[in-house]
Structure formats: structure tokens, C-alpha cells
Amino acid sequence: MLKLGPGNYRDMPWKNGGGSTTELLVDPPGATLAGGFRWRLSTATVAASGPFSAFPGVDRTLLLLSGRGMELDHGPHGRVRLAGPLEPVRFPGEWATFGRLLDGPCVDFNVMCARDQARHEVTILRPGRVPSPLREAPTVLVYCVSGGAAVTGCPGGLRAGELLRADGGEAAGLTVTSEDSATALVVVRILQVR
């Protein structure tokens, strides 16, 4: 297992140059936005409405970590409103997408997978005092949005802004227990393409 925190992340410009993003983790290590990544997790502060970068062949899931909402306008594919934090929406990266802020800046969490190499599932976990098991997958990623959580096999647990990666069955038998009522986690399961 690997635990990462803000000191391990890297800030970089958006692909379209319209802002900046914090890359939490990319696979394989060292892959760039220009290509070569299998999957990627990032966060970004969206300070103004504007177009999203295009990522042909990539499936995306986006959710807000904070802010009062954003509308994603996918043109002929419709619109989706993210009314508040922790409501994941999924869309193909090749769709021309415009993000319209509803009431001020937002911070988002973004998962991207190269469609021909991997697929992903995103769930929100608000664990209680009773241990919640994590579903196994080739790669399981757990990002702590708020609060703190005890995780079996992870010394010190997870605090807000920290990320845990478990590969190759390491997630088998892992459980998460909340350390306070504010705990919220984003759980990303990376699955092989069949």
C-alpha cells in the first residue's frame, strides 16, 4: 500500500491552458496529459466558467469537493448540474464540455481512464464507527475529502487531503472506520478492460 499527501502531489497547467490542476497520482508514473496515461486522479480550483480540455478516448468522472455548484454543458449530449459536493458524474472526454459556475468558485475531483486500457468506478463512502469493507479491485484508491478515517493496514489512517493506493489484492480485507462524523471519502476502483 502507498499513502500520499499534499507534499507528493504536483501542480501543473490544464491541457487547454485555462487554469491549473493538482495531479494526485498518474499511472504509469511520469505519464503526461499529452498521452500515455492509463489513469489519472487530480483536483482543480475552478475560478471561472469556461471550456473543459478535450481528452479523446478517455472516460471521465467529475465531482465537486467544495463550492455551490457547476453545470456541465455537453452541447448535443445535454446538460448535467452538480448542485453540490460529492455527486459524481461520468462523461466521455471527447465531448465538448463547458463548465458554468452556479455561484462562485468550486474545487473539483477528476478521475480519467484511457478507455482502451482501464475502466473505473467511483463511489462516495461516509463510514461510521462500524468498519466498512472496501471492495477489492486490481487498484483501489481512497481519497479523504474531510475528517479522518482509520484504515486497516495503514498506519496513521487517512486525513483530509491524503490518498491511499492499494494494488493487486492489497484491498482484500481492508476496512475503513470513521474517526469523526465529518468523514467523507472518494473511493475509486480501477478495473482492467475486458
Same domain, 153 and 188: yes
Closest CA to 175 of 158, 191, 159, 192: 158
> Is residue 19 located within the same domain as residue 101?
yes
Q: What is the pTM of this model?
A: 0.93
Angle at 163 between CA 92 and CA 114, to 5 degrees: 25
- Are 149 and 110 part of one and the same domain? no
Q: Are residues 91 and 135 in the same domain?
A: no
- Per the structure, the complete domain to which residue 123 belongs is given by 119-192
Give the alpha-carbon dihedral of 49, 160, 122, 89, to 10 degrees.
Answer: -20
Question: What is the number of structural domains in the chain?
Answer: 2
pLDDT in tens, the chain (194 residues): 999 999 999 988 776 665 678 999 999 998 887 768 999 999 998 888 999 989 999 999 999 999 999 999 999 999 999 988 999 999 999 999 999 999 999 999 999 999 999 999 999 999 888 888 999 999 999 999 999 999 998 999 999 999 999 998 888 888 999 988 889 999 999 998 76
